[in-house]
Chain A
Amino acid sequence: MRRRNLIAGVMAAGAAVMAGLYRFTDLLVMHYPPTPYDDLLVQLVDRGQAARLGAKVTDAAGAASLAAELRSGLKPGTLRKVAEAEVAAGRVAEVDGWVLPKTVALLSALAAKV
């Protein structure tokens, strides 16, 4: 076997392993069961931590209501801009005493409900 082919083979195998780790394990990225709200929850990089925070929201509406409220202002890939605009405008919420951008609080509450 030529050395070039050996290297190519090792790289291909490595890529396949990495793809498998990405797709079938939580080592590289967390995987969650599909929900009706994934268009929103995908913006949370760590949904587990958000859910832990969201579990402290004591007066949260149901998931469908939360999602409807979030979809009215949160478009794909806009969480950072929305959060920045909210704190600039004073639209903050408290969760377990933590002062948060309102959308972060709502998203966290939604994460806790799915």
Chain B
Amino acid sequence: MTALIDARTLAPGTHLQPDLAIIGGGPAGIALALALAGSKLDILLLESGGLNFDPAIQKMYSGAESGVRYAPLDAGRLRQLGGGSNHWGGYCRPMDEIDFEARDWVPHSGWPFSRKALEPYFPRAQALVEAGPWIYDQKGDADNAAEGSVLPLTGGGLYTSWFQFSKMRGDILPTQFGNRYKDDLVRAPNIKPLLHANVTAIRLAPDAKQVTQLDVATLTGKHFTVKPRYTVLACGGIENVRLLLASNDVMKTGIGNQNDLVGRFFADNPIPRDVATLVSFAGPLAPFYGANQTLADGTIMRATFATTARFCRAAKVAGSLSTIEQPVELDETGKAAVITTAIALGVDASNARAYSLGCGMELMPDPERRLTLSGQKDALGLPRLKLDMRIADEDFARFRRTLSELGRQLLASKAGMLKILCNKREDWMTRMDWGHHHLGTTRMSSDPKQGVVDADGLVHGMGNLYIAGSSTFPSYSASNPTLNLLALTLRLGDHLKKVMA
């Protein structure tokens, strides 16, 4: 058993030689360490932050931005043990099969494997996020039947799908990986968790094929080195880029960046709010559409409208998850639309209710939406990042087609109708929120010219440097990434057990 070690207390000039160094103590780093707990591997988990939020440490995340308005780079992530899980919303949903496919209408799409490669790892990922039994779409309708009816959207492009929610203990929602798993990390005899340890450089052998050393520093001025056999970078979709690009003493363009891909294809899930008004002719929707519902066994679920693979192919749209937000009042034109349409369809709409609809969208991969190093430096001398954020009109146009289909389905099923509130780019942007899901910047591909890492997460051209987390997602899905990146990380854990044995 080891304790959580504060790197600020290490003797100057300390040299550590673990089998595996995991850089980053967020969900991916912690999940990977725990997946290898009890193995014969000596594991060092390096976390920049401590157990709690520290503004001085957090400030190391700040950077510059250009392009469309986006969250500040130090706002959507947290530099402390547990990382982003200290402020996540707990939304869980497995990615769909089509999310892994090369879609000819989605440029640069396609994973090097299908969803089947992750399926064996979903149960363990689900256990890590403590979202209860695996229900989702397989049993969601049935398990929520007591709360009301699912809207009859049969035979069209969207269907009622289900989120499940991470739930830690008691009223702590959701699971915060640092708080939840720190004792497990400490109990594991082969894991050494090191806090306040900032990796400032990844040093390579002269042939640029092996990591030979990690330079580590604390904000109190201590420096030490780590010489691991293998290294996994698990700092998230933004910080992974910074370390790779800044470690450029051997590879002048940055590690893994021989094809100018590191930092490109940055993505997030746009979450425009109040993009449409959905009317239910029959009266109030079942409560699970507008709020989380807790089942008898404690599982928390919420309904959303997801796109079918068939519709995505036919209409050439990306994934989206449209979710009821709150009741709204109709204006006079809206009332006229409901009355006129309901009469035409022979439906009684005298008890109709209206709701605002929000959405989580999947962006098209865009190589020009990218992170680069800026001229600014942080407290430890590491170059800061600059994000050029973009979102294409086509991204909005595709989602608008999805909303139109939802409107058509509501009419076809005589369940209700829909008003689309966004027409121009400004309409979308003024409603824009972001998921703070940092995706795609070290994308995965079997082809080194198309990706930074291979199907196992190994950096192309390197022998002992892997990347874990959603930065490796080559295309993104509308599903929230945490559950999926954990499954991917657990798969990496199995791979490392084999190659490091």
* Contact B343–A44 (Cβ < 8 Å): yes
The closest CB in chain B to the CB of A104 belongs to B344
| Chain B 77-92 per-residue mask, 1 if CB under 8 angstroms from chain A, else 0 | 0000000000000000
Contact of B412 among A79, A88, A95 (CB under 8 A): A88
For chain A, residues 1 to 53, give those with C-beta under 8 angstroms from any C-beta of chain B. Answer: 43-46, 49-50, 52-53
Q: Are B334 and A98 in contact (CB under 8 A)?
A: yes
The reply to whether A52 and B404 form a contact with Cβ atoms under 8 Å apart is: no
Q: Which residues of A contact B421 (CB under 8 A)?
A: 97
Across the two chains, which residue of chain A brings its CB closest to B279?
A98
Segment 325-369 of B: residues with Cβ below 8 Å from A:
332-337, 339-341, 343-346
Pick the contact of B345: A56, A80, A94, A95 (CB < 8 A). A80
A44 CA / B342 CA spacing, docked (Å): 11
| CB pair A80 B337 closer than 8 Å | no
- How many Å lie between the Cα of A99 and that of B224 in the bound state? 63
Establish whether residues A46 and B418, one from each chain, have CB atoms under 8 Å apart when the complex forms. no
- CB contact between A53 and one of B336, B408, B423 (< 8 Å): that residue: B336
A87 within 8 A of B: yes
Contact at A44–B419, with CB atoms within 8 Å?
no
Q: Is there an interface contact between B420 and A94, defined as CB atoms closer than 8 Å?
A: yes
- With A49-B339, A80-B344 as given contacts, are A97 and B419 in contact (CB-CB < 8 Å)? yes
| Interface residue from A50, A90, A97 paired with B340 (Cβ < 8 Å) | A50
Given A53-B333, A92-B408, residue A101 in contact with residue B343 (CB < 8 A): no
Docked pose: A107 CA to B345 CA in angstroms: 14
Q: B417 interface residue, CB < 8 Å from A?
A: yes
Please name the residue on chain A nearest to B337 by beta carbon. Answer: A98
The answer for the CA separation of A103 and B332 in the assembled complex, in Å, is 21
Q: How far is the CA of A43 from the CA of B404 in the complex (A)?
A: 26
Q: Using Cβ atoms and an 8 Å threshold, which residues of chain B touch A96?
A: 333, 337, 419
Distance in Å from the Cβ of A76 to the closest Cβ of chain B? 14
For B415-439 the 0/1 string (1 means CB < 8 A from A) is: 0011111010000000000000000
Minimum Cβ distance to chain A for residue B302 (Å):
24
**A52-B333, A92-B404, A99-B411 are contacts. A104–B340 as well, Cβ < 8 Å?**
yes
Q: Knowing A52-B332, A52-B333, A80-B345, say if A99 contacts B340 (CB, 8 Å).
A: no
Task: Answer whether A49 and B419 are a contact pair too, CB < 8 Å, given A87-B408, A99-B404.
Answer: no
How far is B346's CA from A45's CA once the two chains are assembled, in angstroms? 11
Minimal Cβ-Cβ distance residue in B for A50: B340
Give the bracket for the number of chain B residues in contact with chain A: 20 to 34
Q: Do A49 and B336 have beta carbons less than 8 Å apart?
A: yes
Name the contact of B335 in the complex, choosing from A49, A94, A95 (C-beta under 8 A).
A49
- The reply to whether A83 and B334 form a contact with Cβ atoms under 8 Å apart is no
A100 partner, pick from B335, B339, B417, beta carbons under 8 A:
B417
How far does the alpha carbon of A104 sit from the alpha carbon of B411 in the complex, in Å?
Answer: 12
Which residues 82-114 of A have a CB within 8 angstroms of B?
83-84, 87-88, 90, 92, 94-101, 103-104, 107-108
Contact B404 A50 (CB under 8 A): no
How far is A108 from B336 in the complex, measured between Cα atoms in Å?
10
- Contact partners of B26 in chain A: CB under 8 A: none
Chain B residue numbers with a CB within 8 Å of A50 are: 336, 340
Given A96-B333, A99-B404, A99-B417: A87 touches B340 (CB 8 Å cut-off)? no
Residues of chain A within 8 A of B418, CB atoms compared: 98-99
Decide yes or no whether B407 CB sits under 8 A from chain A.
Answer: yes
Residue among A45, A98, A103 with the most chain B CB within 10 A?
Answer: A98
Residues of A within 8 A of B339 (CB): 46, 49
Alpha-carbon separation in the docked complex, A95 to B411 (Å): 14
- The 5 residue pairs across chains A and B that have the minimum distance between CB atoms: A99-B407, A52-B336, A53-B336, A87-B411, A49-B336
| Residues in chain B within 8 A of chain A (CB atoms) | 276-277, 332-337, 339-341, 343-346, 404, 407-408, 410-412, 417-421, 423
Q: List 6 A-B contacts (CB under 8 A).
A: A44-B343, A52-B336, A80-B346, A83-B341, A97-B420, A101-B341
A residues in contact (CB < 8 Å) with B: 43-46, 49-50, 52-53, 56, 79-80, 83-84, 87-88, 90, 92, 94-101, 103-104, 107-108
